Structure 1
Amino acid sequence: MYFKKIYSRIISVGEVQRQSIALLFGQISYTFLGFLSTMYFAHTLGSSVLGAYFLFLAYYGIINMISDGGFGGAATKRISEGEQQNEYFTAFFLLRLSVVIVVIFSLLVFREYFVDLNEAGLFNWLFLALIISLIYGSLINGIAGTGKMGIYAAGTFVSNTSKFIIQIIAVFLGYGVAGLVGGFIAGFFIASIIEFKFFELHFAKCEWSHVKNLLTFSFWLFLTSSGVVLYSHIDTIMIGYYMSNSDVGIYKVVFQFSTLAIVPTTAIRAALWPKISWWNKNNKIDLIEKSLSKAFTYSLMVSLPIFAGGIIIGKQLLYYFYGSDFKSGYLVLIILLFVQTINVFQFFITMYISALDRQKDSFKVTAIGASANIIVNLALIPIIGIEGAAIATLITMGLNTILAKKVLDSMITIKLNYDNTINIFKASAIMALLIGLYRYFIPISNIWMAVIPVLLGGAIYGILLLRYDRIICEELRGIFEQIRIPWPSWL
């Protein structure tokens, strides 16, 4: 009875807000578990073993992108439009299955070229990962397409939680990098079992027109996602080529740490995609523009204070959270935190372009950014190492954002709430100043002393922002009151 009341309260919140909260909860949980597990792996396995695992993830990301072919995003788009959903799902599954078979065969033929994976004993794991991702991807795209973002969030949460638990157990038992990879794959499998119970689509006779519609949309989506995936993983592969697995481990751990700044961005983005698609189909441009403005605001609420705090105590956090090897990544951390702040805009702008059915334009922007990223990485990594990879990401992320904004400007009016943004800047700056004073008078000498300024800074920032910005305060108060969670009277 008690849980039914809680559920009814949550349901009373607006749909996008409710789905964003569900996804945000899952994303926070995933980030927190990833943060703790990576700390354990870093101290237990060291940067070199972690580097081998991150290289596997990079290769898997690129190969899985090829096997997906953009069909997943195309299926989500067509299914979200509400017409002939089962037929589009069937066409998607058959297309994806065909490509996976071809990819697996190609991997067997060119196996000798994957030197890093063969030496680490991880090549055969790629086959299992691709098969499980076929099942998981089919289910998750179908669920997202039907607008069940709560189930989508739950599936993602189960996948990530089970992955971390299995990885921790496997590493504890001494399985090393194989345990990390095995846990990664097991997470997809477990989530697939659970999601299947809530999956309502079924196979139906599809025609060439369904396949053609998916191919038409997926062509540009595939090219766009190829640029995004290359953008995400090419620096890892290049660091592995020019430098050591240890350098890969340091860079990727720091990069993962920096993604704390875009936790709400990822959650809001996932919740908005189906709604934007539907709004666009029904010509509700005003709702699209309002949602983008709010998405910017609520994402910057987190990214800016984390960037400010990282500058003040980032080096100490890396040392005590991950170990002495990772302290050398402080400069990389500062650069990447700035990247993530820019990424708030890039994430949403490119997503809106795609959801508004302008895949060709999205591809052009991403292709330029990805090409530039490869060139700048090739120029900087051999000279200045992992700092070069971070600078390359910063330069090309900025370029990508500028080009994408020009495209979206021609479609809708992009509005940034400057009053909200200024208040976020003010609260972040004061918080950083106070934490800097704390660090000056109280040395950080262990992990617990490192946690205190983080918690203190979060509390200071939250109170200042709610005091400065009454609009944000009232919106949050409204959500809390709808689900009947007590709101401090002094706010």
Structure 2
Amino acid sequence: MSIGEVQRQSIASFVGQISFTFIGFLSTMYFAHTVGASILGAYFLFTAYYGIINMITDGGFGGAAIKRISEGEEQDAYFSAFFVLRSLFVVVVVSTLIGFRNYFIEFDDAGIFSWLLLALIASLFHGSVTSGVAGTGKMGVHAAGHLVNNISRIVIQVAAVFLGFGVAGLAGGFVAGLFIAAIIELRFFDLHFVRFEWWHVKSLSSFSFWLFLTSAGVILYSYVDTIMIDYYLSNSDVGIYRVVFQFASLATLATVAIRTTLWPKVSRWGKLEEIEFIEESLSRAFTYSLTLAIPVFVGGILFGDKLLYFFYGADFERGYLTLVILLFVQIVNIFHYFFTMYLGALNHQKDSFKVTAVSTAANIALNLILIPIIGIEGAACATLVTMGLSAILARNILSQIINIKIDNGSIFNILKAVFFMSIIVGCYRLLIPLSNVLLTLIPVLLGALIYGILILKFDVKMHDQFKEIATKMKIPWSSLL
């Protein structure tokens, strides 16, 4: 394809995200109806503890390796130094966990402590390969590997749950996905082990220190609500909250795809001092992310209660208010994601850490206060407040480095399209009882079609950009619009 590299890789990542989301939703629906909220809650706790411990084993060196490798100088040496450091961290952490196994009685009784250890070992193999692939700019391969990881994990999990393995089957599928994805990406991996010098380690460490602290804040930010919900409430509440959180993540599909693609590009542009590319990419990233997030937020308000009921079961319908809050969080999240990502990619990891440290501390405090009072809605509110705080702080710092541009015209066109779409599907909701899943899906699909047509009619710039992409991909534009 002759389309631009960033566009091509973003499209590949976005297609991967859509495919995974569709499969992920179907599998989660199956798990919700088969094993229930409590077993799902136990699995989400497994992934939460894995996320926190894996962050420790990574030590920030994964992101540092991507940064140094992406700069194009002595790539093999930086990769070799990263692999040795990461291996050392994994050995130390796994040995420590085995030594303190008696403190993980709940995990051991559930039969997933061993899976946690295997997951950490798998992360060494997977993290090394994916960091090398991403660092060399092969984001299409990276996106494909991410898709393979998720799809293979889900397929194995569905089979394991069907055979009655419960939470152990879910954890086992998680581990298998890491190994399979790493093997697939290894085919496109072209870095080599070479001798490296101490200064390579120091160069990685100088970047990884702040990246590790920032990552620690992000991981805690991502999982502290899950752990606190389990502490104050129950596994079932964890299951409902995380399922709703996953459902809300639909709003940031474009954000994740663009963010994944842009990180090594922004890093390279920063090294070459190509500021115009950086500023333009940030403006477009906001526009395309909000193009999806805003209509999904409105659609969630109109149909979220019925979608939760029909997709996951009656127990999950009580997560509707949490869903609405978390969908709004995803809009705020767009600015948080890109502001902090650009700070890190432009080698201002220390500033990114400061932002993350403040917001993480606030998040923990608010979760401690709100979850005992208003339950899972309290966790969602804590995330909303602190995500907004993080976005504001990060913007203030980033604005001193580059000019932050928002395409107000395109944002206004998005709001217009959403307004007319919501009137049409809102009337449907008022006039037709949503008594089954089909009657619920019809306005959702109708709303997506109406919004897609309206936004391309209202916004000439977006219309021309999509037309250019479609033309270069040999897709007849007249058949689309």
| TM-score bucket (shorter structure) | over 0.9
Using the alignment, how far apart are the partners of 1:243 and 1:252 within structure 2?
14
Aligned to 1:358: 348
Aligned to 1:186: 176
Shift in Å, 1:109:
2.5
1:359-407 CA distance string (max 9 Å, x none): 1000000000001000000001111110100000001000000000011
Using the alignment, how far apart are the partners of 1:363 and 1:451 within structure 2?
42
Using the alignment, how far apart are the partners of 1:406 and 1:119 within structure 2?
48
Q: Given residue 218 of structure 2, which amino acid in structure 1 is its aligned partner?
A: V
Query: Which sits farther off after the overlay, 101-110 or 130-139?
Result: 101-110
Aligned to 1:4: none
Q: Is 2:202 the partner of 1:212?
A: yes
Using the alignment, how far apart are the partners of 1:129 and 1:264 within structure 2?
28
Match of 1:173 among 145, 163, 182: 163
C-alpha distance 116-392 of structure 1, shift in aligned 2 (>3 A): farther
SS of the counterpart of 1:413? coil
Q: Is 2:251 the partner of 1:261?
A: yes
Shift in Å, 1:119:
3.5
Aligned to 2:310: 320
Using the alignment, how far apart are the partners of 2:180 and 2:108 within structure 1?
27
Q: Given residue 400 of structure 1, which amino acid in structure 2 is its aligned partner?
A: S
Q: Given residue 123 of structure 2, which amino acid in structure 1 is its aligned partner?
A: S
Aligned to 1:76: 66
Q: Given residue 25 of structure 1, which amino acid in structure 2 is its aligned partner?
A: V
Q: Is 2:397 the partner of 1:415?
A: no
Match of 2:426 among 422, 436, 442: 436
Aligned to 1:398: 388
Using the alignment, how far apart are the partners of 1:114 and 1:364 within structure 2?
32
Aligned to 1:97: 87
Instruction: Show structure 1 runs of 4+ deviating over 3 A.
Output: none
Shift in Å, 1:487:
1.2
Q: Given residue 142 of structure 2, which amino acid in structure 1 is its aligned partner?
A: Y
Q: Given residue 124 of structure 1, which amino acid in structure 2 is its aligned partner?
A: S
- Please say if residues 43 and 323 of structure 1, whose CA atoms lie closer than 8 Å, have aligned partners that are also in contact: yes
Shift in Å, 1:115:
4.2
Q: Given residue 286 of structure 2, which amino acid in structure 1 is its aligned partner?
A: F
Q: Given residue 143 of structure 1, which amino acid in structure 2 is its aligned partner?
A: V
Identity of aligned residues (%): 62
Match of 1:247 among 237, 253, 259: 237
Using the alignment, how far apart are the partners of 2:38 and 2:480 within structure 1?
50
Q: Is 2:297 the partner of 1:301?
A: no
Aligned to 2:450: 460
Match of 2:117 among 121, 124, 127: 127
Query: Which sits farther off after the overlay, 243-252 or 117-126?
Result: 117-126
Aligned to 1:7: none
Q: Is 2:226 the partner of 1:236?
A: yes
Shift in Å, 1:429:
1.8
Q: Given residue 213 of structure 1, which amino acid in structure 2 is its aligned partner?
A: S
C-alpha distance 406-116 of structure 1, shift in aligned 2 (>3 A): farther
Aligned to 2:37: 47
Shift in Å, 1:193:
1.1
1:62-105 CA distance string (max 9 Å, x none): 00001000000000000000000000000000000000111111
Shift in Å, 1:470:
0.8
Query: Which sits farther off after the overlay, 131-140 or 437-446?
Result: 437-446
Q: Given residue 270 of structure 2, which amino acid in structure 1 is its aligned partner?
A: N
Q: Is 2:233 the partner of 1:279?
A: no
Q: Given residue 229 of structure 2, which amino acid in structure 1 is its aligned partner?
A: I
- Please say if residues 308 and 429 of structure 1, whose CA atoms lie closer than 8 Å, have aligned partners that are also in contact: no
Shift in Å, 1:433:
1.6
Paired residues, number: 481
Aligned to 2:459: 469
Alignment of 1:345-384 (within 5 A): 345-384=335-374
C-alpha distance 201-308 of structure 1, shift in aligned 2 (>3 A): same
Q: Is 2:325 the partner of 1:343?
A: no
Using the alignment, how far apart are the partners of 2:77 and 2:132 within structure 1?
11
- Please say if residues 373 and 392 of structure 1, whose CA atoms lie closer than 8 Å, have aligned partners that are also in contact: yes
Shift in Å, 1:490:
8.6
SS of the counterpart of 1:350? helix
Shift in Å, 1:489:
6.5
Shift in Å, 1:118:
2.8
Shift in Å, 1:449:
1.7
Match of 2:217 among 207, 215, 227: 227
Using the alignment, how far apart are the partners of 1:430 and 1:20 within structure 2?
29
Using the alignment, how far apart are the partners of 2:189 and 2:30 within structure 1?
35
Using the alignment, how far apart are the partners of 1:65 and 1:385 within structure 2?
27
Report the TM-score, using the length of structure 2 for normalisation: 0.99
Aligned to 1:3: none
Aligned to 2:9: 19
Aligned to 2:48: 58
Aligned to 2:478: 488
Q: Given residue 284 of structure 1, which amino acid in structure 2 is its aligned partner?
A: E
1:265-311 CA distance string (max 9 Å, x none): 00000111111111111110010000000000000000000000000
Using the alignment, how far apart are the partners of 1:432 and 1:45 within structure 2?
35
SS of the counterpart of 2:478? coil
Using the alignment, how far apart are the partners of 2:330 and 2:144 within structure 1?
25
Using the alignment, how far apart are the partners of 2:250 and 2:110 within structure 1?
29
Using the alignment, how far apart are the partners of 2:96 and 2:209 within structure 1?
21
Q: Given residue 94 of structure 1, which amino acid in structure 2 is its aligned partner?
A: V
Using the alignment, how far apart are the partners of 1:343 and 1:488 within structure 2?
35
1:300-343 CA distance string (max 9 Å, x none): 00000000000001000000000000000000000000000000
Any gaps of 5 or more consecutive residues in structure 2?
Answer: none
Using the alignment, how far apart are the partners of 2:156 and 2:240 within structure 1?
23
Using the alignment, how far apart are the partners of 2:118 and 2:444 within structure 1?
40
- Please say if residues 91 and 211 of structure 1, whose CA atoms lie closer than 8 Å, have aligned partners that are also in contact: yes
Task: Tell me how large the CA RMSD over aligned residues is.
Answer: 0.9
Shift in Å, 1:152:
0.6
1:13-58 CA distance string (max 9 Å, x none): 0010001011111111111111110011001111000000000000
Q: Given residue 72 of structure 1, which amino acid in structure 2 is its aligned partner?
A: G
Using the alignment, how far apart are the partners of 1:53 and 1:307 within structure 2?
27
Q: Given residue 460 of structure 2, which amino acid in structure 1 is its aligned partner?
A: R
Report the TM-score, using the length of structure 1 for normalisation: 0.97
Using the alignment, how far apart are the partners of 1:380 and 1:450 within structure 2?
33
Q: Given residue 264 of structure 1, which amino acid in structure 2 is its aligned partner?
A: A
SS of the counterpart of 1:357? coil
